[in-house]
Each structure stands twice: as C-alpha cells, then as structure tokens.
Structure 1
Amino acid sequence: MECVVSLEGLAESQHGQVKYAAAFIDEHIQDIWLENGSLHIVHQSQKTDQEIRERVQRLINRFSGGDFGFKENLLFEHHGPKPYEGDIIAELVNKKIIKVLEPGLFIFREPFSSLMRFFDYSFVTKIAGKFEGLTEESYPAVIHCDTLNKTNHFTSFPEHIHFLTHLREDLDVIETFSQTIRDAGGWKQDDLLDLQETMPKPKFAMNPSTCYHCYEGLQNETLEGDGLVVTAISKCHRFESKNHGDFGRLLDFSMREIIFVGKPEFVKENRLKSIEYLKELAAEWNVDSMMEIANDPFFTNDFQVKASFQRNQEMKYELRLTIPYVNKSIACSSVNFHSNTFGNAFNIKMGKRNAVTGCVGFGIERWTFAFLSQFGLDEAQWPAAFREQYHAWQQKSL
C-alpha cells in the first residue's frame, strides 16, 4: 500500500528531516522517498492511510511550527575535480570490495579497508597530533545506560538506541531457550520465546558516540591547567530504520574523535584551530567539500528550540563531501561545542567551575565512501598529494 502526503507549506530545507523521521512512524514501512514536494510511503501496516498521514502530520508540525531563526552560514567551500561519476556502491559490491550484509551493515575488504586505516592515520597525524598535550584513549563499543541518561541521549535521540541484554541467570530459562532453538531447527526470530520473560531489562546499550566514554571517564575529576585534549576511535552504533538505505548511513561505523575538555577559552580556541586544520586538509586532498553551520537531528517535540539554539550559537559545524552520482553531499566530519552540558552532567571540574567540552568527529567509512565517490578506484585519478601520502603510508605499514 502506498500513502502520499503533501509537504506543501513546509520549508524545502526540512523535507529531508521529515523523510528521515517518518521512517520511524511504523515498523511495517517498506520504502519511503521524496518526490515533487510529497512524501511517498509504501507500507504493510494494519494502520489506515489516514492514521499514517496523521503521524506524518505530527512530524510536519514538529519541523515547521514556530520561529527557527536559523542562520545560513557557509564557512568555506572547496571545489575539487570529481573525475569519477559512477555508482561507487554498485562498483564496490560488483568487485566484491564490500559485502552488504543488510542495509547499513557492511564487510569491507581491500582496498577499502586499507583506505579506512589510512584516513584514520591521517586524521591523527595531520589534525589531532597538532594539539599540544594530546593523549590517546581506547573505549568499549558498549556503554552503560546510566551514562547515556546523563548525556540526554534517551530524550534527544531515542530512535538510535541499540539496547543490549542477555538471558536471565536462571537454569530453566537458559535450558528452555536452548531447547526451543534446537527444536525449531535453528534460530528463527519469529518463533522465539517471549523475550520479555526470558531477558532482564537492559543495563547497557551499544555506544552511539565516541566522546561519551571520555566524559564518563572524567566523572567527578578536577582537571589541571587549561584542560586536556584526548583522541580515540571506537565502533559506534545508531539504528536509523529505512534511512540505512541512504548513502553513508551505517548501522555500525567507526568514529575517530578529538575531544577538548577544560576552560571555555581553551576549548573554543582549539575548536577554531580544528576548523582551520580541516579546511587545510580538504584543500590539500582536493576533495569537493564545504563546511556549514548545522544542527543535530533531534527526535523530540522541542526540535525547533534545540536546533535553533544550536545554529544561532554556532555550536555545530559539518564538513560535507559531495557524492556526485546522487547529486548531494554527506556530513563526514563535525566540529562541536557543548558548553558546560557534559561538564555539569558528569561533574568535571576546572577549579570550582564545571568544565566545558567540544569535539571533532571523523566518520571513517563516510570519508572513504565519499572520497571514492569523487575519484573512483583508479589511483591514477586520485589527487597527487593524497596518492603520495597513501603510498608512503603503505610502505610504512609493510
């Protein structure tokens, strides 16, 4: 069944946000797309078309009402050559360089896997390494729900959360579960026991953002000097429903971050430096890109207030790389200022005051996909500086 909802009256800049959020209105949605100012939804839901339309209208109201007061501000643009115009995903799949397990979940093989490692190496050496006193940390892919609660992730991005749980510590439950699987001839999701009865309430979730562990690790500490700079890479997980079919939206992805914690001027100054370093790198590698003011995709009824505040205070910038064959761009890096939100939440002190924080994020898979979408797999087409640096890194890695 196809339901079509007109987005007339909604600013075109918000059409994508409505499409993204609409994927979560019913679990039986099969496909969703924008066409000629309308949202098309194909579904097998028991809900009527009218009920589907009413849910979409709730989202339209969320993103259209009130005064956003958005600033339009482009920090810089760099126009690169983009010699490759093909469908890079199709080529990578055809050449068995990536294996799509399901939308948003991939296995990466050479040369994609090597390029991922090179990008991460470059972000550490060319950007993170320029900050005095840099330290590196290693984080788990799992995070405590109490920690997510302190970051307000449950109220700001509830749709993303992947909870973790396990069978109850009960011999009867464990043996019955195992026998049920055996009797069914293997794992069949629809034939499982009532998980509410066999599994406890979750204590942990998959980590959605690298920097959360940094703040968790500094809880109740008092920092010395002006602050600290930490870098880390970790696997992150965000459930995005049918949006995983969009270019670059992964269920499981690698995020390198540079995290600043300290006095306000220390964090703000380092954040400005990181913007300059990103601009330099984009120009050096000749990638077609731009950096602009952005906001997080808050999944809440107070979206307008939060998004408007972020943009007006210029708390988030995104470096977006062009994807030629779909004629759009995707965010590959973000530069964020959180004020004292996390310093307050985790009681991180700078003297008698709570610390402020900021971070720079690099989506490793996104950078790799975006680069290849512009230049393809033929290394002869790659920018000279990038090619030389990549080959030098390969020699070091042997």
Structure 2
Amino acid sequence: MMDNQYKLTGTLRLSKKANDLVEEFTEVFTECTDEFISEDQSWAQRECTVDGDEVEVQLGITAAPAHRFFYRLQKCIGKKMGREYHLGVKDAIVNRLEIRFEMPTEPVTELKMPFVKKLEFDGKICTAILEDVENDFIIEGAVERLMKRIEERVERQYYEGKEEFWELMEESPHREPKWDKDPSSEMVDRGWIVRGPTKGKWFYRPEITAILNAMKEIAKKEILEPMGFQEVIESNFVPFDVWRRTGHMMGVPNEVYYFSEPATRDPQFWQEFQDKVYITNDVDVDELKKLVSEPKGGIVYAQCPNIYWSFEKAVIPEEDLPLKIFENTVASARYESGGRHGIERSDEFHRIEIVYIGRPEQLNELKEELTERFHHVFDEILEINWRMAWVTPWYMQQSGQEGVEDETEHILGTIDFEAYLPYRGEKSDSDNWLEFQNLTIAGDKFTDAFTIKTQKGDLWSGCSGIGLERWAVVFLAQNGLDPEKWPDGFKEYLSELPKGFRSY
C-alpha cells in the first residue's frame, strides 16, 4: 500500500517585515521542520521565500501530514525568533494542499466531494486538491475525515443497490391466516382512520386508537414491566449536535423533518405578516421565511439519541447496571416520500423506544430475555406468522461485522422480526413480509459518542423499537378487523371496540 503523499503551498504572515532576517529565518525554518519529522522521514520539498512581512512556504513529504506541520511553524518560529528578533507569525494560510493516497478499491463512477477543488483517480490512487483551506478545517481534523469519506464513498459504490445481509434465525409454526385484505384500506373504508391534513400523516379514530393502546399495554405488561424497564419522557426536538454524534446527520439527513424557531416574538415584527393573512385569507410562505430562524434541529426520528444525550458524560455505578429505559410519548417523524403505504409506512408514527446500557455480558443476557418475551407476545397473544432474521446493513458489512461473532453467537448487530401479510400474496415470497420489530446491540458506538462510562470496564448500549402501527398492521392483516375472531390472548387486552363516529 502506497504511503500518503502531501504537497502544500502556504503563506506565513509575520508580525513585522523580515527582509533583513532572511538568513536567520531560513535557518529557523529548517530547524523547525527538522524537529517535526522522525529520523526515518525526509522532506521531498522544503522551501521558504521571505517577502516583507510574508513568507511563501512549500512543503512536500510522504507518510506525514504536511498541513499539520505547517501550522506548527507558527508556534515554533515565534519561540525561536521572538525573544532575540521580536519576530512572530500572526497567521498561517494554506493556499493549496495536494494529497495523493491509495484506496482499497477504485471508483466505479465519477465522484464529487465538498471542499475539494479537484478530485482525480488513477486506478486506486486518489489525488485531492484543496485551495484556500481555513485554519479550523485543518486544526479540527477535517482533512483526515475528508480522506476517510472519499474512501467510504468509493466503497459504497460497490454496495449500493445490494440487499442488506439477511440470515434466517427462527420462524414460527405456520398459522392459517383468518383474513387476506389490506388493513389500512379497510380501515379507511370503515372510517377508523382518516388521511391527515398533510401527506404521510393519519388521524386515528376511536377504533384503531383502542387497538394501538392495546398494543402499548401488551408491550408494557408482557415485556417492559416484568423486565424492570423504567419510563422516561423526552423532548420532541433533537438538535443537530446530537444527531451529528449518533450519525443521523450523515446517514439520513434526507429523511428528517427539520424545525425553525421564530426569529423574534416581538408582535410588531409579525404585524405585516398577520395583516396579510387576514386580508388575503392565505399564508405567504415567502414572507414567513423572512420571519423564522435557520433550522436548529429536527423532530424526533427515533427516541434513542435524546436518551443517550441525557446521560452525556455520566459515570454509571456498577450496581445500577444495566440501565433499562423506555420512552413512548413522542411521535417519530420520517420523510418517506414515495415509499408510503397505509399506517405501516407513513411520515408520522408511534413507537416505544427501549434503550439498555450495561456491560457486554449483561446486554447479551438482556437480548436473550427480550427475544423470548417477543416470541411469547407474537405466539401466545397476537398469534401471527413471524420469522426472526439477523440483518447487517452494508456499512456494518464493510467493518467485517457480517452476522456471526465468535462463530457461534450473534452479538453485535440487529435482529429483525418480520411478519407475513396475506393480502400481498404468497407466504413464500419475501416481498410479502413486513419488518415490524427490531433489536440491536450497538456495542460502544453511542456510549463513546456521549462519553457515558461506568467505574471500570466496557460499557455498551442497545435499543429496540416497538412500532405500534406495525404491530397493529401485522396483527390485523392475519386476524382481521372482527374482534370476535381475535385470539383469546389479545382479547384479554381488548375484547370489543368503541362505538366510534358515523358521518355521511
């Protein structure tokens, strides 16, 4: 593998003109740059040209970050020349940075990246040229993240369009479905659900509300309470910084509902807008844009990021582990665009988020108990056809986490529960199954991101989302809308439906 190669052209702005100190400056420049590298390294290029109070610098080196060395010159030159010559460096500006590095694979198609003036590929060799690079960009490690991102984007070209890893783990006994119609369509016809005032939303009337509440009660009584989970209530809003740390802003920014605050609460600031609404009986969106601030964050996508944030920099006592938490008051919002269908795939939905934080062995035991309790609910209460699969998204496949750890056990990763939807067609066709429940062990990804620790040893986390609409859909798709035909186990939670509303 070829070592990374760096070429840099920059400008040092001095505290005063140094035309009479060219020899002394050049000597100090050489000393400093020699100090930056190890004995087995050498500069391919190292030049400085003094012109008044500016110095043009050219650096070239292999397997060492020239851009970081360039900024270290500021302090080194000031230290060596400040006391005797009263000369320092006020600013260091990178005019041009060229990086050549080898990647694991070569790109399939053309690639563009922000911050890069020119991006070229010669097989696996990438050349990235940056111009007028800001100090913070280098100091905060953005150059290194840019290089890593280029590699990830190229590798992703080989995975895009491929199905995620899927390995069947277990399947329920076959149960003959009692129904073969689409629950959402039937509920629309019966007036149980009404399409919401904006796309991808629903208004739930008493009948489906009772079913969703029953699902919630089943989850609490059969799973959460017996296992000792404690309930929390979180905010509906997530700031960008939280999503930056969980990866959502990099992974799913195209699926987020963003929010903006009023620029001010001053009534005079809003007066003209209010007058226009009154007079035109319409909302001038262009005018509204001027009155609200730039987006500050988004509406909850999943509840776990805010839960992790609430433990930021916490040290959890050993005797309190594992932490068992659930949240079920906040609705999730995801922009599904063309993928919407019924209440099982909409832009707004209701879920119980289960989060657990503990030692690796504790979470593995907890995962086993959760799995058993899910089995009990799906077999004995909902009585549905289900199957359980070990799934690994492409980004985990890249990391080598392809489904089996230690050859015998599935530990890190995600388990999906899927249920058969008879109205879609044959049971043998995987397209006729719906993922309706998951269970994940995320390792130290989120505990590290939020600096959550215990007194000693590793601390992991995991989560499991109970989507109430999806539980309802898979139950109704196989058991129908008639309460008399529902399983006895479910009838213990809901035996008859409310009267509801009639309209003509």
Q: Confirm or deny a common fold (TM above 0.5).
A: yes
Q: Which amino acid aligns with 1:309?
A: Q
Q: State the 1:64 CA deviation.
A: 4.6
CA–CA separation in structure 1 for the residues paired with 2:435 and 2:166? 18
Q: Does the 8 Å CA contact 1:71/1:312 hold for their aligned counterparts?
A: no
Q: State the 1:71 CA deviation.
A: 5.2
Q: State the 1:259 CA deviation.
A: 1.5
Equivalent positions of 1:1-398 (< 5 A) are 62-64=159-161, 70=165, 72-101=167-196, 102-132=198-228, 134-169=229-264, 171=266, 173-187=269-283, 191-193=284-286, 197-224=290-317, 225=319, 226-233=321-328, 234-245=330-341, 248-285=344-381, 286-295=383-392, 305=398, 309=401, 311=403, 314=410, 315-327=413-425, 328-353=432-457, 355-391=459-495
CA–CA separation in structure 2 for the residues paired with 1:153 and 1:159? 10
CA–CA separation in structure 1 for the residues paired with 2:193 and 2:300? 24
CA–CA separation in structure 1 for the residues paired with 2:280 and 2:157? 45
Between 1:247-256 and 1:309-318, the stretch displaced more is 309-318
Q: State the 1:261 CA deviation.
A: 0.5
Secondary structure in 1 matching 2:345 = coil
Q: Does the 8 Å CA contact 1:159/1:240 hold for their aligned counterparts?
A: no
Secondary structure in 2 matching 1:193 = helix
TM (norm. structure 1) is 0.74
- TM-aligned CA distance change 1:294 to 1:179, over 3 Å: farther
Counting aligned pairs with the same residue, the percent is: 19
Q: Which amino acid aligns with 1:377?
A: L
Unaligned runs of 5+ in 2: 1-154, 426-431, 499-504
CA–CA separation in structure 2 for the residues paired with 1:389 and 1:167? 44
Secondary structure in 2 matching 1:186 = coil
Secondary structure in 2 matching 1:73 = strand
Write out per-residue CA displacement over residues 356-378 of structure 1, whole angstroms, 9 at most, x where no aligned residue. 10122110011112211111111
Unaligned runs of 5+ in 1: 1-57
Q: State the 1:295 CA deviation.
A: 4.0
CA–CA separation in structure 2 for the residues paired with 1:319 and 1:367? 11
Write out per-residue CA displacement over residues 29-71 of structure 1, whole angstroms, 9 at most, x where no aligned residue. xxxxxxxxxxxxxxxxxxxxxxxxxxxxx99864257xx8935
Secondary structure in 1 matching 2:206 = coil
CA–CA separation in structure 2 for the residues paired with 1:147 and 1:250? 24
Runs of 4+ in 1 over 6 A off after TM superposition: none
Secondary structure in 1 matching 2:356 = strand
Q: Does the 8 Å CA contact 1:232/1:258 hold for their aligned counterparts?
A: yes
CA–CA separation in structure 2 for the residues paired with 1:384 and 1:145? 46
- TM-aligned CA distance change 1:199 to 1:354, over 3 Å: farther
TM (norm. structure 2) is 0.59
CA–CA separation in structure 2 for the residues paired with 1:165 and 1:342? 27
- TM-aligned CA distance change 1:358 to 1:273, over 3 Å: same
Q: State the 1:242 CA deviation.
A: 1.2
Matched pairs, number: 326
- TM-aligned CA distance change 1:146 to 1:273, over 3 Å: same
Q: Does the 8 Å CA contact 1:322/1:370 hold for their aligned counterparts?
A: yes
- TM-aligned CA distance change 1:347 to 1:310, over 3 Å: farther
Q: State the 1:239 CA deviation.
A: 0.9
The residue aligned with 1:54 is: none
Q: Does the 8 Å CA contact 2:483/2:497 hold for their aligned counterparts?
A: no
Q: Does the 8 Å CA contact 1:144/1:204 hold for their aligned counterparts?
A: yes
- TM-aligned CA distance change 1:106 to 1:64, over 3 Å: closer
